[in-house]
């Protein structure tokens, strides 16, 4: 769970486990967050997580459906002390399928948005790593910022203070 939320991944052997690739849909099956859905990264499915697949319904649509109906799913959880997502209930959900044209339109419209989200997450991770490397070096003086020349866009070249706009 921590890996899904903070991006710190721990690795395990994949032999005998269900594998995921980025974009696969997974659901937490046990605990206080049972029935929560996430998009997986490359890895394996843990024992309290289930991989959700569909040949007809786009996974991004299923993700939105489960996110929007989380409370309804959790009301139907089983278990008293430790909640468990109700597999039988989830498997019996009757989806009225749209035409292939509607699903293709969904994929064409929504899937690029998720690709952009994943791309931005990757960029954020790279920026965090760069910050974690560069900030200590800056703080200890290993990097001297006075050596850098800023592009004109960032430099203050105007010698006069900003003037307030005058009324006409």
Q: Give the pTM.
A: 0.70
pLDDT of 145 reads: 80
25: in domain: yes
For 22-67, how does the pLDDT look when each residue is reduced to its tens digit (9 = 90+)? 999 999 999 999 999 999 988 888 888 999 999 889 999 999 999 9
Residues 46 and 87 both lie in one domain: yes
Q: Place 151 in a pLDDT band, splitting at 50, 70 and 90.
A: confident
Instruction: For residue 110, give its domain range.
Output: 98-144
Residues 67 and 112 both lie in one domain: no
Across 89-98, 116-125, 141-150, 159-168, least confident range = 159-168
149: in domain: no
Q: How far is CA 15 from CA 12, 18, 44, 45, 72, in A?
A: 9, 9, 9, 11, 35
Q: Among residues 39, 92, 91, 101, which one has the least CA distance to residue 64?
A: 39
For 158-167, how does the pLDDT look when each residue is reduced to its tens digit (9 = 90+)? 555 555 556 5
Residues 47 and 57 both lie in one domain: yes
**Number of H helices and number of E strands within the chain?**
5, 5
pLDDT of 154 reads: 63
């Amino acid at each position: 769970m921590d890996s899904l939320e903070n991006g710190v991944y721990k690795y395990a052997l994949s032999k005998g486990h269900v594998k995921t690739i980025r974009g696969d849909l997974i659901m937490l099956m046990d605990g206080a967050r049972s029935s929560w859905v996430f998009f997986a990264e490359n890895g394996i499915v843990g024992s309290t997580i289930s991989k959700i697949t569909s040949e007809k319904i786009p996974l991004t649509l299923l993700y939105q459906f489960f996110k929007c109906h989380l409370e309804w799913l959790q009301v139907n959880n089983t278990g008293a002390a430790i909640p468990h997502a109700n597999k039988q209930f989830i498997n019996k959900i009757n989806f009225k399928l749209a035409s292939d044209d509607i699903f293709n339109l969904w994929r064409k419209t929504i899937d690029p948005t998720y690709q952009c989200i994943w791309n931005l997450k990757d960029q954020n991770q790279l920026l965090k790593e760069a910050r974690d490397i560069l900030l200590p070096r800056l703080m200890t003086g290993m990097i001297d910022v006075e050596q850098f020349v800023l592009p004109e866009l960032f430099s203050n070249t105007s010698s006069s203070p900003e003037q307030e706009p005058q009324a006409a």
